Amino acid sequence: MKQIKTLNKANLKESAVKGGCGECQASCQSACKTSCTVANQKCENANR
């Protein structure tokens, strides 16, 4: 494509099927404790 560039693999839908293992950190435990940001968390599922 010449006029549009996609920056990522966009695998959110796929992740819904393989996800949900729950081994990741609770999002507000890591650095904030006063808000909730989730997109910056690490995935810990080795099988994804």
Partner 1 sequence: MIHKYSLNGYRFVLDTNSGAVHLFEAAPYEMLDYLDDSVPDCPPDKLIAEMKGKYDENTIQEAYEELKELYHEGLLFSADEYEQFAGMMKNAPIKSMCLNIAHDCNLRCEYCFAAKGDFGRGRMLMPFEVGKKAIDFLIENSKGRHNLEVDFFGGEPLMNFDVVKQVVDYARSIEKQHNKNFRFTITTNGLLLSDDKIDYINREMSNCVLSLDGRKSVNDRLRVRVDGSGCYDTVVPKFQKLVATRGDKDYYVRGTFTKHNLDFTNDILHYVDLGFDQISMEPVVSDPKLDYSIDEGDLPRVFEEYEHLANVIIERKKQGKGFNFFHFNVDLQQGPCAIKRLRGCSCGNEYVCVTPEGDIFPCHQFVGDDSWKMGNILDGSFDMEKKNEFALTNIYSKPDCKNCWAKFYCSGGCNANNWQYEKDVHKAHEISCKLEKKRVECAIMIQAALAE
In the complex, the residues that contact partner 1 under the rule CB under 8 A are: 1-13, 15-16, 18-45, 48
Cβ–Cβ < 8 Å for 25, 48: no
Q: How far is the CB of 25 from partner 1 (least distance, A)?
A: 6
Q: How far is C-alpha 7 from the chain's CA centre?
A: 15
The distance of closest approach from Cβ of residue 6 to partner 1 in the complex, given in angstroms and rounded to an integer, is: 5
Smallest gap from residue 21 Cβ to partner 1 (A):
8
Burial degree of 41 (CB within 10 A; 0-12, 13-18, 19+): middle
